[in-house]
Structure 1
């Protein structure tokens, strides 16, 4: 059974490379990138042998704890993608639990993550080859750490097999992962600034606590042995071994439940929603119906939210960068945080450039109902503006509220409104002329669809270039207001951004509506070919 699972995993890996030549090229490039990271990690671990014990322990405890935590979180993001490790798929077969347990563990080590983890943990033994006792403890703890990584990954996969199999949960997990990655850089920058300000003691205390937890104990025990604290080293090794035993016991129980009561492959009962949502309070007009339908998409379709995941995180990231560089709330207007409003306005409004593409074949409803192109364009903008305009106003005012200085607020608000309105109008034209390569309904919002990539990039970057020209008047007035200190120029920038943006929005809705009236069937044919 163990050999069968391993061979199945190898066959799946081999077949995944035969799907297309470009996929093979992508895998090769990813492997080269991973190999480069592995070489850097191994070189660093070997080099740590020459550094003091405390420094080596701090690095290994931090990186090792992140490694174990990453292995535990991977199934929540990629659950159901590996057919050899999905517990519920083995329920119909009369398999012994022990064989399945060992087989899944062995299959989990096959692949780039398992090979890289095993190699890096083996290199950590070199870090602690400062004597026979530290080296022996490091070898034992490296094996325990590897077993803990695999066991934690399989425990989460088995315990959350129902939850992780749903698309919405996987999408939410990916969004959370992207949020963590986006905030990692600012967090490190803030941490570095705090360390320079005397926060090293707190960090050292936190690492000491982490070294006594199951996450950090396998990586802290060799350091204790290198310092001569054999009792501490033994205690941390026992903690690591107990964590491995607890994880594998929990995995065994979760796997047993998954085999006895697997998740249902049929449709599940869903909670009944009351009312008709936005359709109840939107005006009973074609544009109102389109706006209500678009609002439903904005609240329930994860493909829409995935494109805007950066919006609530961008203020945090820009504030962290500005605070580290300037040193307080009084300097927030002197860094990139001052422009968070215009940037978020563009990110929100530019979604209109691909809104028809997200409809896919459901766009046939608009054609069959005889909705005019102008009503379609205005309805979609109305749904976006209901929450996008207040969000743009709040994000634009946030830096000035923190700084307590409102002199340039009208100028920056004019740029934000100009970007939002102009980008919405330009996007209304582009989405009526071209379809973009976007994930299909029901697919992961982070899936990269094949085809028309070159056209999509050309339309997107070309549209951004046109947008930059169209918002130049209010942007120039805002720059002049900042350089000359003229309050009248700041208000002129606000009036220009709002007025010119409204005119360009109206032109985009009318022009995009005429294009849609003329090219509606061709637009639908292009969407149908994308399925």
Structure 2
């Protein structure tokens, strides 16, 4: 039965790849990237084992702990990312429950993350190549870790399936998930800087490689020991305990690992049995609404109707809300490296970045409309009305947000003398990027998460198309913004008020001019390609 599930999974995967060239390209790129990452990790493990096997064992424990946590947590945010073997489809088949569970568990490894995790886990055992008798112990721990990843992922998603079926819950969770994901990089940078500062204090103000290495070793060993006693890190720490001769500790950690897997298996079995008898039903009570909402606030014109609908999307659609959440976190993201380096002027980058993100977020608005774009085609909405209707909400609400971010960063950095040039750069970036987005969204569309899906979900085969379209648009924006960027840097370096006011004037004039030109070009492209755009969005996988 397990072999049958594997053949079924491979057959479904092959049919998916034959249906879409982009999915085949995306899978090939993902496999190559996964092989590169796995190869790098294995080489690092072998090199670390030659230098310091014990420290390498602690690092493997930490990495394994993070891997297990990601396998358990990420599917909660990206629920339904792999539905090729949805258990609900086997409800009418007389498949023994244990066979169904075993088949789903093994088939769960047939994916890029699953294969990469299994290969990296097996390769990590080579860290003990100088003591070959520990390699079987490491392989046992790696196997238990991989099983914990797969079984834990299935158990968590199956147990939370009734809750995850609620669209409102998915929206809140998906938007909330953006916060820790965005803060991972700045937090790592801040922690690294703090460790370096602590090392300098420990060495009496003299920075030495030996001191930094000793401190880093102590930190990794400490965190590795703590992680080893958790259900996430226990399987990966078995060779470390055996290496130290702590057979009792190794036995306890083995019990923790096996007990965790057994408990997860029990939770998954009972949750799946309940789900197969009483499958969760999504939906629920619809949201109550009074009046016409934003349609009451915008003029009763084609431009006003499109603007009202887009404003509603910005407020209620979690795919847009996720981007807004990143925007409001931008000052905090830049605050951590600015504080660590002592250069608070880094905060001034928040304004231009927010302006670019806001304006560039509508570069695939037609793709986000999905089948609702048929209303524009069926009603004969003109390109001018469509382009200006999508641009107005960004101009009105985005302009207010940008001004607030600029004022906040100026107050935190204390550089009020840069108010005029910073506003010029931000407003110019908003206008010219919005003009480019107006053209791009009428010329290029690519798959995005569908309405109701998690904003963290990436449609299969969309990676390459998304990357190429966004890279092209960003290059155009950079070229058009080059004069404005040069003026802004000049104003920052010279501190000349005249240059600052010139930057403000040039930014506003360039932004308005390129916005008007971009909207007109986008309108002509929209009028010419509207039926083709509808066909493309309806064909999204």
User: TM-score normalised to the size of structure 1?
Assistant: 0.82
Q: CA shift at 1:193, angstroms?
A: 1.4
Q: CA deviation at 1:295?
A: 0.6
Matched, 1:249 2:266: yes
Q: Deviations over 1:97-127 (max 9, x none)?
A: 2221222222223444444433433344443
Q: Distance in 2 between matches of 1:522 and 1:407?
A: 47
Going from structure 1 to structure 2, the CA distance change for 1:449 and 1:301 (only over 3 Å counts) comes to farther
Where do 1:316-335 residues align within 5 Å?
A: 316-324=332-340, 326=341, 328=342, 331-333=343-345, 335=346
| Contact map agreement 1:141 1:221 (CA 8 A) in 2 | yes
CA distance in 2, matches of 1:450, 1:227: 46
Q: How has the CA–CA distance of structure 1 residues 235 and 297 changed in structure 2, closer, same or farther, with 3 Å as cutoff? A: same
Q: Aligned partners of 1:419 and 1:39: how far apart in 2?
A: 41
Q: Is the 8 A contact 1:61 1:210 kept in 2?
A: yes
Give CA deviations for 1:9-53 in whole Å, capped at 9, x if unaligned.
Answer: 232234344335664454344333322322332333333333445
The reply on whether 1:436 has 2:436 as its aligned counterpart is no
Q: Give ranges in structure 1 of 5+ residues lacking alignment.
A: none
Over the aligned positions, Cα root-mean-square deviation in angstroms equals 3.9
Determine if the alignment matches structure 1 residue 216 to structure 2 residue 262. Answer: no
Query: In structure 2, how many angstroms separate the alpha carbons of the residues matched to 1:15 and 1:376?
Result: 37
Contact 1:287 1:378 in 2 (8 A): yes
Tell me how far apart the structure 2 counterparts of residues 354 and 132 of structure 1 sit (CA, whole Å): 54
Question: Relative to 1, partners in 2 of residues 1:35 and 1:198: Cα closer, same or farther, differing over 3 Å?
Answer: same
Compared with structure 1, are the counterparts of its residues 134 and 304 closer, same or farther at alpha carbon in structure 2 (3 Å cutoff)? same
- Kindly report which structure 2 residues correspond to 1:56-135, keeping only aligned pairs within 5 A, or say none: 56-76=56-76, 79-83=79-83, 85-128=85-128
Residue of structure 2 equivalent to 1:467 = 480
Counterpart check, 1:268 vs 2:277: no
Seen in structure 2, the aligned counterparts of structure 1 residues 96 and 12 have a Cα distance that, compared at 3 Å, is same
What is the TM-score with the length of structure 2 in the denominator? Answer: 0.80
Question: C-alpha displacement at 1:174, in angstroms?
Answer: 7.1
Compute the displacement of 1:260 (Å).
1.5
2:206 alignment counterpart: none
Q: CA deviation at 1:301?
A: 3.6
Contact 1:88–1:161 under 8 Å retained in 2 = no
Does residue 423 of the first structure (1) align with residue 436 of the second (2)?
no
Structure 2 unmatched ranges of 5 or more? 200-214
Offset at residue 341 of structure 1 (A): 0.8
Conservation of the 8 A alpha-carbon contact between 2:367 and 2:448: no
Question: How far off is 1:366 after superposition?
Answer: 5.2
Aligned length: 515
Q: Following the alignment from structure 1 to structure 2, what is the Cα–Cα distance between the partners of residues 291 and 279?
A: 9
- Identify if the C-alpha distance between structure 1 residues 367 and 240 changes in structure 2 by more than 3 Å, giving closer, same or farther: closer
Q: Deviations over 1:398-417 (max 9, x none)?
A: 33222222111221111111
1:235 corresponds to: 252
CA contact (8 A) 2:59 2:224 kept: no
Q: For the structure 1 residues 85 and 410, does the alpha-carbon distance in structure 2 shift closer, same or farther, using more than 3 Å as the test?
A: same
CA distance in 1, matches of 2:327, 2:411: 19
**Which residue of 238, 242, 246 maps to 1:225?**
242
Going from structure 1 to structure 2, the CA distance change for 1:194 and 1:281 (only over 3 Å counts) comes to same
Which position in structure 2 is the counterpart of 1:289? 305
Contact persistence 1:144–1:240 (CA under 8 A): yes
Instruction: Go from structure 1 to structure 2 and tell me whether the alpha carbon gap of 1:345 and 1:109 turns closer, same or farther (over 3 Å shift).
Output: closer
Q: Deviation at 1:62?
A: 0.9
1:485/1:247 CA distance change after superposition, 3 Å: same
The 1:144/1:419 distance shift into structure 2, 3 A limit, reads: closer
Higher RCO (C-alpha 8 Å, min separation 6): 2
Query: After superposition, what is the alpha-carbon deviation per residue over 1:206-228, rounded to whole angstroms, capped at 9, x for unaligned?
Result: 43322211111122232122122
* Greater shift in the superposed pair: 174-183 or 418-427: 174-183
Deviations 1:418-456 (A, max 9, x none): 22134334544x269635345485486643569998995
Q: Distance in 2 between matches of 1:449 and 1:48?
A: 37
Mapped to 2, the partners of 1:437 and 1:529 lie a distance apart of 12
The offset of 1:59, in angstroms, is 0.5
The separation in 1 between residues aligned to 2:116 and 2:450, in whole angstroms, is 35
Counterpart selection for 1:278 from 267, 287, 294: 294
Secondary structure, counterpart of 1:272 in structure 2: coil
User: In 2, are the aligned partners of 1:282 and 1:288 still within 8 Å (CA)?
Assistant: yes
Shift of the 194–298 alpha-carbon distance from structure 1 to 2, 3 Å rule, reads same
Q: 1:411 to 1:453 in 2, by over 3 A?
A: closer
How many Å apart are 1:339 and its aligned residue?
1.9
Aligned partner of 2:210 in structure 1 is none
Conserved in 2, the CA contact under 8 Å of 1:128 and 1:226?
no
381-390 vs 147-156, greater mean Cα deviation:
381-390
Q: Aligned with 2:18: secondary structure? A: coil
